[in-house]
Amino acid sequence: MTPPLFTRRAALAGMAALPFARSALARSPMGLARGPVQPTWSSLIEHYRYPEWFRDAKLGLWAHWGPQSVPEQGDWYGRFMYMQGHPMYEHHLKTYGHPSDFGMKDIQHLWTANRWDPEALVARYKKVGAKYFVALACHHDNLDCYDSRYHAWNSTRVGPRRDVVGTWEKAAREAGLKFGVSNHVAHSWHWYQPAYGYDPTGPKKGVRYDAHRLTMADGRGQWWDGLDPQELYTGPFAPMPDGIDTVDAMNRWHDQHDGQWIETPPAGVRGERFVTNWLLRQTDLIDRYRPDFCYFDDYGLPFGPVGLQAAADYYNRSIEWHGKIDVVLTGKQLKPHERFGIVQDVERGFTDHLWDEPWQTDTCIGDWFYNVARLNDKSYKTAEDVIQRLADVVSKNGNLLLSVPQPGSGIIDSEEERILDDMAGWIAINGEAIFGSRPWRTYGEGPTVLTPGMQNEGGMKPFTPQDVRFTTNKGALYVLFLGWPTGASAVKALGRQHWRGGAIERVTLLGGGPVAHRHAAEALHLDIPRRVDGRFVPVVKIEGQGIA
């Protein structure tokens, strides 16, 4: 059931009852941009308007690419390689050696990007229809993939020895795409704590991993000479205590102390330094690359009032650049009023209703970081899967941000190329139903029930030919069938008893021809041509005076 609309006016009216913390950090010494937007939710809501370019864009492509792509084992390698018994620990032990000797810093050193061709990849993504491109700027592994002023562990000194974000930016802007960055580093302080642990069993039982024992002095004469490992691994905020002697006990310890999705800042003076450094790195990222889009991997904004400072800084900078706020900042699990100050992102999940305000879902055709098993066992999302998701999201006033994982070398695999080519083929025929479109008065109909929420796409049932979605564009109404119908189809939401439009004059299958139809009281009946091999998600265009 669609909840009552929560308007911007209601959001602002309720602000007085909410306690807004203000950061004690001075604005000028931190280099924060001055302007009308203040670091409070009420100010964000008062000044923010969703950019038209974002509402028109509908599809973004994301290079969720960094050193954790090197082992080709999937997500969170930099954490799980330090947890005995985990498959990634076993892979690391077999492939690279024990994590007391060869740690995540050394995996970062192996990230060579030796086959990376950003211009060719961006061109391929543009052909797929992407209107914005997003580069991973820093993940939980705490490597800045850009020329960072405030963090020595960055890709100009480690791994590719290149400004990865800057190179992506140049390629994206030259291709005419909007450019974005994603920042995940607020979680690195708790995510990295297993690196200070040890094996609870086995021949190296009790031997602490590399994060525990290494200092800057140990790097003399090494490839990381002049870099402090404690800056990379963030410091022992919650190190595993001595005396744990089973894998189960180790896992329980991490689950209870550092394995949760912690949004609060770390405690103590070192914690304050970490948070201050996060803000400096974030504002530096915005200042250097002037992104049109910024993704925070956080519930709400990172670190409460400090995240508000970062948001205000970004919006005020946009006013300096464009004369208005023309950028998008995303957060997850937002409170209703917060969705009017930044854009809600729903990670690998769904909504079950048409949203009044623009939003975004992000997903990946495989794992976020490259996993060669996806290629070998053919478990990528297909192009049809992706287009079904795109149709569903756009019909509900959202955008889809899609990641195509790259190995450490930078070149995508042949199966990913095929998926993108199939998507491009669909877009070439049906793109008018997506790009620049707006929702109709209802998003669609069908038997497949989508459970709203994050990270639940793995449990969804397949869409059927009775699942249809609606969009409008330039006066036309589009009906997107998520499964290809066999024979006649009846779209109940378009029956005369629900119809408020004018007379239907033309009904056409995009990429086909006229569609025989009958407009009855209970439904619009359509005779969709038989499916052609390789085609999916047929789109019917309905035209006439006052249709949409």
**Structural domains present in the chain:** 8-191+264-433 (3.20.20.80), 193-252 (no CATH), 438-543 (2.60.40.1180)
pTM for the predicted model, two decimal places: 0.95
CA distance 452 to 461: 13
Q: What is the pLDDT of residue 20?
A: 31
Q: Are strands 517-519 and 343-347 parallel, antiparallel or unpaired?
A: unpaired
Q: What is the pLDDT of residue 78?
A: 98
Sign of the CA dihedral 336, 341, 342, 343? Answer: positive
Compute the half-sphere exposure of residue 500: CA atoms within 13 Å on the CB side of its CA: 4
Closest to 185 in 3D by CA, of 341, 298, 286, 72: 298
Whose structure tokens read 């490597």? Answer: 143
Q: To the nearest 5 percent, what fractions of the chain are helix, strand and coil? A: 35, 20, 45
In b/e form, how buried is each residue of 390-401, taking b as 16+ CB within 10 angstroms?
bbbbbbbbbbbb
Q: What is the pLDDT of residue 2?
A: 35
Amino acid at 453: G
Q: Which tokens hold the place of 520? A: 């009855």
The β-bridge partners of 479 are 470, 540
Q: How far is CA 490 from CA 101, 163, 470, 526, in A?
A: 65, 54, 14, 6
257 CB burial (10 A radius; 0-12, 13-18, 19+): middle
Which mean pLDDT values do the consecutive 10-residue runs of the chain (548 residues) have? 47 45 41 95 98 98 98 98 98 98 98 98 98 98 98 98 98 98 98 98 98 97 98 96 98 96 94 97 98 98 97 98 98 97 98 97 98 98 98 98 98 98 98 98 97 92 97 98 94 94 94 96 96 94 91
Q: What is the pLDDT of residue 268?
A: 94
Give every CB contact of residue 138 below 8 A, 6+ residues apart in sequence: 144, 145, 146, 151, 183, 184, 185, 281, 285
